[in-house]
Structure 1
Amino acid sequence: MNSTISNPYSFSKQNVNQHEWVESMRKSIVEHEDEEVSKIPVSIFTVPNVLLATNPESYIPQQVALGPFHHWRPEVYEMQRYKLAAARRYQKYMNISFDRIVEVMKKNDEARIRACYHKFIDMSGDALIWMMAVDMAFLLEFLVVYSMREQGLTQTKDVTSGAMSHLVDVSGKKLSHMTILRDIVMVENQIPLFLIKTMLKHQHRDDQNKSAGETLKSMLIGVYRELSPFQEQELANVDIEDCDHILDFLFHMTVPNNKELGIYDMNIDMEHEGIEYAGDGDDDQEKTLPDPSNLRKFSNIIWDLLSKSNAGMVRIFKKIIFGKPVALMMKLPWKILSSLPILKLMKGPIENMFENFRGEGGEETKDESGETKTPTIEEITIPSVMELAKAGIIFSPVNGGIFDISFDVERCTLYLPVVELDVNTEVYLRNLVAYEACVAAGPLVVARYTELMNGIIDTEEDAKYLRERGIVVNHLKSDKEVADLWNGMSKCVKLTKVEKMDKVIEDVNKRYGKTWRVKLSKFMRTYVFASWKLLTLLAAMCLLFLTTVQAFCSVYSCARVFHQLPEISGSEGTAE
């Protein structure tokens, strides 16, 4: 039997060139003697499947592929002719030939390039370096637009003419320009910056006083201004030498460390270890109330005694408590009662109590098949914008970044950075969150910010309120799209802890918990509805009493009994 057919893992089946494969193995094992290369940390990752499944368009390049991960995809390989045209034009600005720079990079940087990617690059050395060189020429021609913006120039030279003129323009308003801009910030579409700096070193520049690193930084700052949804008054001083690729630079600009913020001595207050949620912080009042656990224990004891007893009256109680007619009768007027102003506040807890009528399984939710459902995402515990506004909390915009989020307890004001939302924002934030999760070098700050925004923006009304307060600058179609953007973001991240934002959440929840609405709701939930078993028993006794009265009146004429009662003195005097 033909081995090619019988063995699905054969070289022939996979169209693998055996000679090139053996040569790559030999070079990786025998000739690889550079210990420094082996210490290079992985910096370019693939997006985890759990994130990719939520919104693939935000992570998979749609128009142009940079680097090896998506190079051969037919959808993006069509851009190859524009890349080659960009490389031909870029040769005019280099002081050495394209062949020579490829030869230098292959000799000095091939092993380092492979070390940057966390997946094995199944390409020959020549193919990898030529691919990188052509992609970098295309990328630099695209980035020069932002360098000229930073310099205040309004017209490009010949770099955006010809084959790329319909893709890229200085104003950045063309659809292809915006698509390429989103593609170059995706996690899987990154190229190591040290390669880009190598090409810039061999480029003729008008300003010979600027180094390749300074030129590249000027380009990337222009990209950051274009993509960042925040409006910082002062940008962080990020060292381009500390950044691995474009997305890493954008991440440092969005979440700068103390050095990049110019802070060299910082005392951290570690008093606040946990987060207190809505309704906490009213300790003085709670000290005067009885321990709710004692009431719960008492009701549980009574309930257990009754549930284990089979006496005649107890059986009647059980039928009344769990009987379907009674349950339906109790639910019929609920829509009318819940419309009353006071009962509106207690609607949720009362509905939870009715759900528990069927047994002890109230803590788990089940689907139609009867299997327990596991929550897919845990949302941060904080009231929505409209709930906070009704509680007297003021929202105020601040021109800054994520670290400028704060809450003034005395003024009862929550300060949030102005966020400008457009078609690029979701891709930008999603890839920052994905990259932050892959690197995991510290607290997941961007993820925590998206969780906070998802927590306070639940509906279109919440988004509209923030827009009217100047916190959200909406370039999308509607306020509903804003709410959907934030609510969709948190479906792909897990909860994390960031000390400063957690303190803000804690303070907001404390202030919200001091309102009379929340106090009443908490009191009813803790001291009334927590003892639903006892309430159910009392309700059953009332129903039994009313049923007995009704049965009595059906046998004996209640009206006749009432007529036999003595009349009041006033009536007797009138009769006389």
Structure 2
Amino acid sequence: MEIVGTSRQGTSSGNGDASIDMVGLVKFIREKLDKLSCPSPECCIYEVPKTLKKINEDAYTPRTVSIGPLHHGKAGLKHMEEHKLRYFNDFMQRSGKSLEELVQIMEEMEKRIRECYAETINLKSEIFLKIILVDAAFIIEVLLRYSFPDLIITPNDRIFGKPWMISYIKHDLFLLENQIPFFVLQDLFKMINIQFSPNETLLKTFIDFTLNWFRSYSYLEVQELLVPEHIDPSEIKHILDFLRICLIPKQSLQPSRQSSQQNERKFDRPSATELHEAGVEFKVSSSKNLFDIKFSGNILEIPHTRIVDSTERLLRNIIAYEQCHYDVTFFGAYTLIMDYLINTSKDVELLVQAKIIENWLSDNSDVSNLFNGLSKEVNVKIEEYYFTKLHEELNDYCEIRSHKWKATLRQDYCNTPWRVLSITVAAILLGLTFIQSLCSLVSCNK
């Protein structure tokens, strides 16, 4: 092996064709290091990891409107820029602030806003602040018009006048790459002064309006949306984060860390069909929280959920956000347990019959494909897996052979009153025949 010497001026490259400028290299690396910024605790808006995006890029891509800098100016989204400016103009009039005042307010927040993005935003301040200001005002106006359509929406509104457009906008506001910091929205919303009547003004908070907007989402209509008590509004990162906060289990229900012995246990993957064959009965839960799945006796209770076209987009973006930002991945765990339960359309059929799944897609195979695909490339720490106890209970139940025998007897031979009656009569006849034979044997011996 040839060992190459070093010097201040340079070194041989090993092939004699050129030399390395060590001084220049050191200077270059040092300049790069000096430009490095320390990751900010404000960071909360991320580009979707490539491993997730390659599975279904469309699920993370805005279809109608870009919010924030990550998709600004992209083809197919530019037509909304004029609409956003109209909404911004309406917001400015409602705020009572001049354009100069609003720009000044945004300039004071610029550093903090930039720190919210995981990737460095290489845009000049003028462009960056214009994007944030106009997009924030647009979101506020959309929520206002949704809540007070009769009072605010004008006859020539080009967005709410077209149902398909507002529907697409609704979906786009939940995308991870389409977020702006929540504190910007809250600070601008506080400036609004709407007088509905001489004695009635707008007193609700931006959180109230956002929650009302969430409830309009077709997939979320069947889910419980509760703002945790005593929540600090400053802890909310953005709209997608707020939605997650409203949906996840409350503190008292959150998982405790598992022991190392539990961590080492390998989970089986019993499907709904396999559980059914082992005697498990499926029942729709009265709870409206996705995560409130319980197993008691032989009854598995699962909350009702509606599967619509936009379900995959919403779940994928929450999961991607969790993967980037949180240690405890509740939605990753939810899709994992549903992936275990659903392998084929037959599994979906069982859950549909139990009214656990309300399928608005083409057929049951679409639902099975959805959940089978959602868990791909998703990492869930076993020590933070929310459904550890549930999984253990289901595994333990399936390992007991007598449960399967009883289930087979019940499903194959006792599934109708006539079959039960016929089996009962057959058993009685068999018993009488045995007694007759025994009596004959006894009489012969005498």
Matched, 1:187 2:72: no
- Any idea what SS the aligned residue of 1:420 has? strand
- Any idea what SS the aligned residue of 2:283 has? strand
CA distance in 2, matches of 1:233, 1:118: 31
- Cα displacement (A) at 1:232: 4.5
- Runs of 5+ consecutive residues of structure 1 not aligned to the other structure: 1-24, 149-154, 278-379, 520-576
**Partner of 1:389 in structure 2?**
276
**Partner of 1:530 in structure 2?**
none
Of the three residues 134, 154, 168, the one matched with 2:160 is 168
Of the three residues 494, 504, 508, the one matched with 2:394 is 508
Change (3 A) 1:161 1:246: farther
**Partner of 2:294 in structure 1?**
406
Structure 1 counterpart of 2:248, one-letter code: V
- Any idea what SS the aligned residue of 1:491 has? coil
**Partner of 2:441 in structure 1?**
none
- Cα displacement (A) at 1:245: 0.6
CA distance in 2, matches of 1:455, 1:191: 35
**Partner of 1:374 in structure 2?**
none
- Any idea what SS the aligned residue of 1:414 has? strand
- Any idea what SS the aligned residue of 1:403 has? coil
**Partner of 2:248 in structure 1?**
255
Change (3 A) 1:235 1:512: same
Change (3 A) 1:386 1:515: same
Residue pair 1:420, 1:474 contacting (<8 A) in 2 also = yes
Q: How does 1:40-59 map to 2 (within 5 A)?
A: 40-59=41-60
CA distance in 1, matches of 2:342, 2:234: 38
Structure 1 counterpart of 2:86, one-letter code: A
Change (3 A) 1:252 1:423: same
TM-score by length of 1: 0.58
CA distance in 2, matches of 1:38, 1:447: 25
Higher alpha-carbon deviation: 235-244 or 67-76: 235-244
**Partner of 1:320 in structure 2?**
none
Change (3 A) 1:90 1:233: closer
**Partner of 2:20 in structure 1?**
none
Of the three residues 303, 307, 311, the one matched with 1:425 is 311
Change (3 A) 1:512 1:462: same
Change (3 A) 1:469 1:85: same
- Cα displacement (A) at 1:438: 0.3
**Partner of 1:219 in structure 2?**
209
Residue pair 1:236, 1:253 contacting (<8 A) in 2 also = yes
**Partner of 2:408 in structure 1?**
none
Q: How does 1:54-65 map to 2 (within 5 A)?
A: 54-65=55-66
Structure 2 counterpart of 1:430, one-letter code: R
Instruction: Give % identity.
Output: 27
**Partner of 1:100 in structure 2?**
101
Residue pair 2:290, 2:305 contacting (<8 A) in 1 also = no
- Bigger Rg, structure 1 or 2: 1
CA distance in 2, matches of 1:269, 1:134: 44
Matched, 1:450 2:342: no
**Partner of 1:327 in structure 2?**
none
- Cα displacement (A) at 1:93: 1.1
Change (3 A) 1:116 1:499: closer
Q: How does 1:36-435 map to 2 (within 5 A)?
A: 39-106=40-107, 108-148=108-148, 155-159=149-153, 161-164=155-158, 167-168=159-160, 174-206=163-195, 208=201, 210=203, 214-227=204-217, 229=220, 231-232=222-223, 235-237=226-228, 238-258=231-251, 263=252, 273-274=262-263, 381-398=268-285, 399-408=287-296, 411-435=297-321
- Any idea what SS the aligned residue of 1:82 has? helix
Structure 2 counterpart of 1:231, one-letter code: V
Change (3 A) 1:495 1:489: same
- Cα displacement (A) at 1:160: 5.5
CA distance in 1, matches of 2:284, 2:363: 20
Residue pair 1:236, 1:256 contacting (<8 A) in 2 also = no
Residue pair 1:141, 1:159 contacting (<8 A) in 2 also = no
Structure 1 counterpart of 2:206, one-letter code: L
CA distance in 1, matches of 2:88, 2:202: 25
- Cα displacement (A) at 1:500: 4.3
Structure 2 counterpart of 1:132, one-letter code: I
CA distance in 2, matches of 1:158, 1:500: 44
Structure 1 counterpart of 2:236, one-letter code: C
Residue pair 1:193, 1:245 contacting (<8 A) in 2 also = yes
Residue pair 1:147, 1:218 contacting (<8 A) in 2 also = no
Higher relative CO (CA 8 A, sep ≥ 6), structure 1 or 2? 1
Structure 2 counterpart of 1:383, one-letter code: P
CA distance in 1, matches of 2:375, 2:386: 20
CA distance in 2, matches of 1:253, 1:89: 30
- Runs of 5+ consecutive residues of structure 2 not aligned to the other structure: 1-30, 406-446
Residue pair 2:67, 2:173 contacting (<8 A) in 1 also = yes
CA distance in 2, matches of 1:248, 1:219: 15
Change (3 A) 1:396 1:144: same
Aligned length: 362
Residue pair 1:393, 1:414 contacting (<8 A) in 2 also = yes
Deviations 1:523-559 (A, max 9, x none): xxxxxxxxxxxxxxxxxxxxxxxxxxxxxxxxxxxxx
- Any idea what SS the aligned residue of 1:415 has? strand
CA distance in 1, matches of 2:272, 2:104: 58
**Partner of 1:534 in structure 2?**
none
Residue pair 1:44, 1:188 contacting (<8 A) in 2 also = yes
Residue pair 2:65, 2:172 contacting (<8 A) in 1 also = yes
- Cα displacement (A) at 1:269: 8.3
CA distance in 1, matches of 2:44, 2:154: 30
- Cα displacement (A) at 1:501: 0.6
- Cα displacement (A) at 1:448: 1.0
CA distance in 2, matches of 1:381, 1:185: 34
Residue pair 1:423, 1:476 contacting (<8 A) in 2 also = yes
Residue pair 2:223, 2:290 contacting (<8 A) in 1 also = no
TM-score by length of 2: 0.74
CA distance in 2, matches of 1:229, 1:455: 23
Residue pair 1:51, 1:492 contacting (<8 A) in 2 also = yes
- Cα displacement (A) at 1:204: 0.9
**Partner of 1:483 in structure 2?**
368
- Cα displacement (A) at 1:515: 2.7
- Cα displacement (A) at 1:512: 1.1
CA distance in 2, matches of 1:430, 1:447: 9
